[in-house]
Amino acid sequence: MAVKILCLSKYGCLGASSRLRTFQYLPYFDKLNLNLRIEIQSLLSDELLRARYVTGRYNFSLLDAYIRRIHALGTKKYFDLLWIEKEALPWFPSSIELFLLGDVPYVLDYDDAIFHNYDQHTYSWVRHMFGQRLDKLMAHASLVVGGNNYLAQRARNAGAPWVEVVPTVIDLARYPYPLQLAAAPTTASLIADGIPRIVWIGSPSTVQYLQLLREPLRQLAMSQPFALRVIGGGAVDMPGVQVEVLPWTEATEVENISICQVGVMPLLDSLWERGKCGYKLIQYMACGLPVVASNVGVNPEIVRNGENGYLASTPEDWVSALAQLLQSPSLRAQMGAAGRRRVEDEYCIQKTGPLMAQLLRTAAGRV
């Protein structure tokens, strides 16, 4: 008998967390005939998310989004399991959310430390009222899935009865290796100029991290020709550095990464960043690129220093690591191949898909 699952995602396909933690699994489950009947109800539509990227905040349609979510929760009795991305009703008291969830078993999935939106909030009254909001949801969940150990440990500390770590992964079918580049004029001209590319991919909400590389890249540019390719983040202020800004699309992201030479992931060292799951590193590695990343959070688990890339703790580390990679095609090839093997072994849906299917079936009581 099919397991009926209501998936309550935070976003539609435009939101990276929802696209990667839920949506990309659906065709994989269908292809394997796993007898999982999954219906998705997204809290925030793609239109709402686009508006936020433009204005920095959500519009009045947010109220309609919450009404639709509460209506969806009213249908829970028709399902064997609720698969919830992060939380069903952000900023609601946990007692109300638990009441609306009822007695249907539910799985919580986290790829960000969103509990720090509450327990580290600027206002003390928010910390007092909501600081343990997600901990209470975790304690009542049938299963909590964390994208890294930092997130999983929070669930364990909250008293969650069952906790698993499942990284955020790519689909190898979308990342052929080595990628046969299309002969599009724009691509051809970028390759023909002979300038190596350092690539960063992200969104307008995360492009701020690139400012950590402002001085290292300026210093590097004084002795080494290169271009910084920014995908999805919009315009960046990087004096002294040649910058290419490309829009993000799902159809072009793989090719736009693959024609570059080095992938970077700078991060601050704070509680929020420790919840990051390193997805952009996995994308770079899947494309056969060596990586340089801040020595923060999950990054040291993904990057084996000196094998598939380098970890950087200081501006000098960044300059040294990037200079070595830009100057040595053989080192890039060696580290890039090692990174690709690591993705094939641990960070692809071909590895995590069967595990996720089994976790959902077990959480629903259908072993």
Which residues form the domain of 134?
3-169+348-363
Over the chain, what is the mean pLDDT? 92
For residue 288, give the CATH number of its domain. 3.40.50.2000
Strands (E), 79-211: 81-85, 106-110, 143-146, 163-165, 197-201
Mind listing the pLDDT tens digit for each residue in 78-90? Answer: 999 999 999 999 9
Question: 155 and 253 in one domain?
Answer: no
Question: 114 and 7 in one domain?
Answer: yes
Question: 125 and 212 in one domain?
Answer: no
How confident is the model at residue 218, as a pLDDT? Answer: 98
Question: 161 and 30 in one domain?
Answer: yes
Question: 152 and 213 in one domain?
Answer: no
How confident is the model at residue 184, as a pLDDT? Answer: 39
- Residue 29: pLDDT band with limits 50, 70, 90: very high
Question: 261 and 220 in one domain?
Answer: yes
Q: Residues 138-159: what's their mean pLDDT?
A: 98
351, β-bridge pairs: none
Total of domains in the chain = 2
Is 281 a residue whose pLDDT tops 70?
A: yes
Kindly state the percentage of the chain with pLDDT values over 70: 93
Mind listing the pLDDT tens digit for each residue in 217-261? Answer: 999 999 999 999 999 999 999 999 999 999 999 999 999 999 999
Question: 286 and 254 in one domain?
Answer: yes
Mind listing the pLDDT tens digit for each residue in 171-212? Answer: 999 999 876 444 333 343 345 578 999 999 999 889 999 999
Model's pTM, two decimal places?
0.91
Question: 189 and 145 in one domain?
Answer: no
In angstroms, how far is CA 68 from the centroid of its own chain?
25
Output helix, strand, coil percentages for the chain, rounded to the nearest 5. Answer: 45, 20, 35
Return the structure tokens found at 58. 């959500």
Mind listing the pLDDT tens digit for each residue in 102-138? Answer: 999 999 999 999 999 999 999 999 999 999 999 999 9
| Residue 198 DSSP symbol | E
Sequence-separated (6 or more) residues with CB below 8 Å from residue 336:
285, 287, 288, 289, 290, 308
